[in-house]
Each structure stands twice: as structure tokens, then as C-alpha cells.
Amino acid sequence: MTHNEPFVAPQRSALRKAADTNVHPSTPTDSADLPAFNTGNTGDSVLRGKSEKTVAMEVQIPKSLRKRLRTRAGELDISVDELTSRILRDGLN
Amino acid sequence: MPTVAVLSMKGGVGKTTVTLGLASAALARRFRVLVIDLDPQGNSTMGLGVDSPVFTMNDVLADPRPGVAADALTDSSWDRLVQVLAADRALEHRNTVEGAHSSQRLRVALGGLPARYDLVLIDCPPSLGEMTRNALTAATSALIVTEPSYFALHGAEQALEAVDVIRATSNPALRTSTVVVNRARTTVADHRQRIGELREAYGSLVSETMVPERNAIPQAEGAGIPIHAWESPAGKELAGVFDSLLDQIAPALRVRPLGWMR
């Protein structure tokens, strides 16, 4: 390029591929990664599988977002921790 | 520009057939047409000869910034005058409420795009969920497709109620709907009875134009060509039907645009 030619920045598309483009719509996203039954127990016991070890994590988020998390968790009848884990798991998949 | 949402609660009644038929009629008059495929089955996308588009409506609605849909435009194989915002199966992910203004996502993402076209057609999925809410919120009018059958008429009734709900909430400008009967066989007594019921219930909302059941429709769709280019007596008959329907839903398109020979 010579100095006489105007510099034209290459145009990039504003649009990006959605994160779930390659995820089949039928793919379970909630607790499907947990075994439904603990097969090591007696036949008439329907138990949850071994839960993964949890750790504490402190993050700074807007107060309004915390309020929405609490409201949504209440609607789903689950804890805020569980809802946050689900959202993060989905977002990272 | 007329932006028409083509919908029905029931699947398989011919939403895509009507969408493609109207696009074909508008193209035959050399109007610019945009088809927005909101059905994850992607049948309009396939019918318009679009294969493996770079971006789809899933990408657009996952990130609905103002006007971003323009980046997802794809040319159809029919003609350069017909463009497509394509669907893929991942679009099913978007058929849920997302964010505070979920039903406005399509309208926002389209921005000023409809103004570039003479006619915009939105092919909805067979449900009254979030995709159809988005379509009706972005549309200027609704076209409800039904068959002359008991179940399909119930589906049409539900779709008409959905239009009323959207008009009362997110799109007060949404105009009165038109109901079109597809796969009509007036020689069948049951069909005549159902069509009569429909007219009795909805009067002038029911179009006088009915789409007859003809093999030319799946044949043209399979070949990926507009029905107006299907050279058979049935193809010509159907072309006339869709011309008439286009006159009804978009009266401004009765006259060919100046310079249509370009």
C-alpha cells in the first residue's frame, strides 16, 4: 500500500454465530448430566446420584441481577446457588 | 412495506406453501421480496434453494441488536429479487422468552431492513410460542392458513386469538387478519361444511381465494422453483390463485414497479 491510497479497514460482520448453533434442540440442558438413579442401592430406592463437590465463589454482580436471580429461583423452586450453577453450566457448554 | 406473518397453530396446513406461493407471485411482478423463515424445520429456506447459510435467524435472535439481521441476508436460488433470512434447527433454542423485551427481538433486529423490500413474508413455526409472538410483533398484518378440517379450524381460531392478544399488547398497529383455506376440495362434502363454518364464524376475514390441493405444489417445492415457473396446467392455476391472494393481502403490489424490466 502506498501513502496515496486511503486506508480502508476491513469490514467485519456485526453478527456472530450463536453459542448453541451446534447443540441439537433435543439435547437436555438441566439435570440430565446427573444420573437419575443410584444403582448401587436397593431396588426400591429411588435416589439422586452422587452430587458433585461444591465450592464457594464470590463475585460482584449488579444488585438488580441478584434480585432477578432470586425471583427466578423462587419461580423454579430451587436455590439461587442451583440456578446460578445451571446458568453457568449452560453458558459454558 | 407490507410485512405479513403467515401463521397457524396447527402444523402441516401449508404455511410454507402459502409463503412461497406469495413470494412467487410477487417475484412474477418483479417486486423485491424478503422471506423470513422462523420455522426451525427450515422448509421455506429449502424451498428457496438456500443451502448451508452462513448466518441464520438463530444467530440473529440470539444477539438481536438493531439492524443486525442485514448481516444474515442470503440470496435465494429463485432470483436476485428474492432474499432470505434462513432458519436452521438450532432456531428452536430461541422459541423461549429471553430477556425483558423478548417479543421485540425480531422487530429490533430487522431495523430498517423491511423498507428495502416491496413485500416481507414471515413463515412462522406451527405454534403460538415466542417465535410467532416475535413475528406478529414485527408484522403489519397476519395471514392465517388453515385446512377445511375440524382440527385445523380450531388451530385457526387459536391463531386469530393470538393476533388479538398481540394487537392488545406489543403491536397495536397489527392489521386485521386474513384467513386462507389451503388444500380445499369443494367436491368433498366435509370440506364444504368446514368452509361454511369458517365463513359463518369469521365472515369477511375468510378469503374468497382458496388454494386447491394439487400435486404441482410439492413438485415445485421439491424442485426449488417458484410455482409461477412450474409449466403445467395445475401450476398455472396455482399461479393465478396466489396472484389473487397477493392482490388481497398487499393491494399496493397490484401494479408492477417502474423499471421492472431491469
Please, which pLDDT band fits residue A13 given cuts at 50, 70 and 90?
A: low
Question: Would an 8 Å CB–CB cutoff place A21 in contact with chain B?
Answer: yes
Q: What is the mean pLDDT of residues B200-222?
A: 92
**pLDDT of A45 above 60:** no
Listed range (B96-105, B136-145, B211-220) with the worst mean pLDDT? B96-105
Which ranges constitute the DSSP H helices of chain A? 63-76, 80-92
Write down the pLDDT at residue A93: 67
C-alpha B62: how far from its chain's center? Answer: 22
B92 CB neighbours in chain A (<8 A) are 25
DSSP 8-state class, residue B173: T
pLDDT tens per residue across span B159-180: 999 999 999 999 999 987 899 9
Question: Would an 8 Å CB–CB cutoff place B101 in contact with chain A?
Answer: no
Question: Would an 8 Å CB–CB cutoff place A19 in contact with chain B?
Answer: yes
Q: What is the mean pLDDT of residues A73-88?
A: 82
Write down the pLDDT at residue B29: 95
Beta-carbon separation of A17 and B92 below 8 A = no
Write down the pLDDT at residue B48: 96
Residue B21's H or E segment, with its range, is helix B15-28
More confident residue, B101 or B258: B101
Write down the pLDDT at residue A31: 52
E-state strands within chain B? 3-7, 33-37, 73-75, 82-85, 119-123, 141-146, 178-184, 206-212
CA dist., res. B232 & res. A3, Å (int): 62
The percent of residues in chain B predicted with pLDDT above 70, rounded, is 97
Write down the pLDDT at residue B151: 87
pLDDT tens per residue across span B111-120: 999 999 999 9
Here the ipTM equals 0.71
Structural domain boundaries of chain B? Answer: 3-254
B3-254: which CATH architecture? 3-Layer(aba) Sandwich (3.40)
For residue B21, give the nearest of B8, B38, B33, B39 by alpha carbon.
B33
CA dist., res. B63 & res. B57, Å (int): 10
More confident residue, A32 or B185: B185
Q: What is the mean pLDDT of residues B239-261?
A: 82
Residue B250 near residue B261 (C-beta atoms within 8 A): no
Q: What is the mean pLDDT of residues A44-55?
A: 57
Please, which pLDDT band fits residue B85 given cuts at 50, 70 and 90?
A: very high
**pLDDT of A74 above 90:** no
Question: Would an 8 Å CB–CB cutoff place B93 in contact with chain A?
Answer: yes
Structural domain boundaries of chain A? Answer: 63-92
Write down the pLDDT at residue A4: 61
Query: From the CA of B102, how many Å to the nearest CA of chain A?
Result: 16
